Amino acid sequence: MSTILISLISDQTIPNLLLIKELEGRYDQLVFISTPAMELGGKSGWIEEAAGIEKGSVPRIIVEENNWTDIREKLQSFSWPNDARFIVNQTGGTKVMTLSVFEFFSFKNSRIVYAPIGKNQIEELFPLHTQKPQEIKYRLNLKEYLLAHGLYFQSANELLVDEEFTSEFFEYFKSRKFRFYHT
């Protein structure tokens, strides 16, 4: 029996990337449920690249984000394996997308989860909604974080100033909670 991780794509790419990385090894396949606007904006590709997955390789179900009938029809017509289990990440998407996807997968062998932004945890919505939230242990590195936002960079891995200055500079801004303005 295979396990498929379903991710609803939205402007917030980090919750999807975190669950993809946190649950790595617990699923066999990924599927993105996305919209034309999210695909045009490159969100799915950014997530793939940040996760180390070949860009464009994750199957996508492209839906009209506020059209329940369209979402339902596209979910029904997708070629789902008969014996699959599903982990459905409902953190992204519109309200209509999340409600329609919840309804569709609540009739399957599914675990529906939510990763509240800023809480670093996975909350189970179905079937065990009373279960205690699970801590997300995976930590994104800077490269993953930037790639998930469509930002690319090159690095020679060399400090432009000496190590002592770099360390002091970092500690100064860390102590100010990374605020770069003067108060």
**pTM beyond 0.75, yes or no:** yes
pLDDT digits (tens, 9 = 90+) for 69-118: 999 999 999 999 989 999 999 999 999 999 999 999 998 899 999 998 88
101 touches 93 (CB < 8 A): yes
What pLDDT is recorded for position 158?
73
Distances (CA, A) of 107 to 76, 103, 126, 166: 12, 7, 11, 54
